[in-house]
Amino acid sequence: MNNNLLKVALAQISPVWLNKEKTIKKIEKSILDATKENCELIVFGEALLPGYPFWLALTDGAKWNTKTNKEIHAHYVRNAITIEKGELDSICKLAKEYNIAIYLGIMERAQNRGGHSIYASLVYINQDGEIKSVHRKLQPTYDERLTWAPGDGNGLQVHPLKEFIVGGLNCWENWMPLPRTALYGLGENLHIAVWPGSDHNTKDITRFIARESRSYVISVSALMNKSDFPKDIPHYDKIINKAPDVLANGGSCIAGPDGEWIIEPVINKEGLLIETIDFNRVLEERQNFDVVGHYSRPDVTKLHINRERQSTVSFDE
């Protein structure tokens, strides 16, 4: 086994929208397909399980106190994932059985925050099937704030994978220089960026982060077409009435540590994108620039991180 090399799979798929059981089955199929190709890491898009809240832009999502948005939101919460109840156990079992690491974007129904608010969380499952970090998106973007809660710094973690150190951020968090720096400072050299979809998100920032960090950057997006909305969701007719034919076209891609494309953004194609990456290229590109190493000045600028998991209440037993 060559520890320098890592075979990765980018799972550019659509969810079974707002249906967690059926979406989990689809995720499991992608994992099994990746194992047939001997992949060692598979990445899924932001909020894939059970899907991105596209309805907010289609049903006057910011209109106050409407029955429509309350009922869709309630359905969304019911289909969010409570990790403590074992709802990712089947996925963890596959990771362990096939020795494959997983980055998965979920909507998390967090018990330590009361169990009613939901967070866009990026879950890392290692090759032993253990959940090693759950990163709750620090700042939901624009209309996402109408249904997602803001997270905390607890999930700003990195993980060893062969010779690589992997870390990840959700969607527009990747534009936030300080969370990126937090991961760089932990030794990250393989950056995972997950998105709800579309190459307009991935085509610029993927190469920029790679060039800034001298790391590999894997961007993975989901797909979503108008025809993907299940007819049994609440207020289907209102959602479908204003929906464009394509809501998320993918755009999954990989940039190398020199900022050049390894896989250019792939649009409107469902399935796995597979590539083998070589860790030695990281060392080559760090020779002339290392953003938290020889090309940094911690005596002048330094970042402080709060990684405490936030909760409204604490108890002394």
CA distance 207 to 94: 32
198: left (phi over 0), alpha (psi -120 to 50) or beta: left
Closest CA to 18 of 42, 48, 44, 41: 48
**Predicted pLDDT at 59:** 93
**Structural domains of the chain in order of their starting residue, each with its CATH number:** 5-285 (3.60.110.10)
Q: What phi and psi, each to the nearest 5 degrees, are found at residue 86?
A: 85, 20
In order of 78, 92, 162, 238, the CA distances from 126 in angstroms are 27, 8, 11, 41
**Predicted pLDDT at 262:** 98
pLDDT (tens digit per residue) in 258-300: 999 999 999 999 999 999 999 999 999 999 999 999 999 999 9
Q: In the predicted model, what is the mean pLDDT of residues 89-118?
A: 97
- CA 236 from centroid of its chain's CA atoms: 26
CA distance 126 to 88: 13
Query: With contact defined as beta carbons under 8 Å apart, do 203 and 254 qualify?
Result: no
Place of tokens 């190469």: 207
Place of tokens 């390894």: 262
pLDDT at 1 over 90: no
pLDDT (tens digit per residue) in 169-182: 999 999 999 999 99
Query: With contact defined as beta carbons under 8 Å apart, do 147 and 131 qualify?
Result: no
Note every long-range contact of 133-137, with CB atoms under 8 Å and residues 24 or more positions apart, other chains counting.
Answer: 133/157, 133/159, 134/83, 134/108, 135/168, 135/169, 135/170, 136/108, 136/110, 137/170, 137/171, 137/173
- CA 115 from centroid of its chain's CA atoms: 21
CA distance 25 to 44: 14
Structure pTM? Answer: 0.97
CA distance 170 to 135: 8
**Predicted pLDDT at 314:** 86
pLDDT-based confidence at residue 317 (cuts at 50, 70, 90):
confident
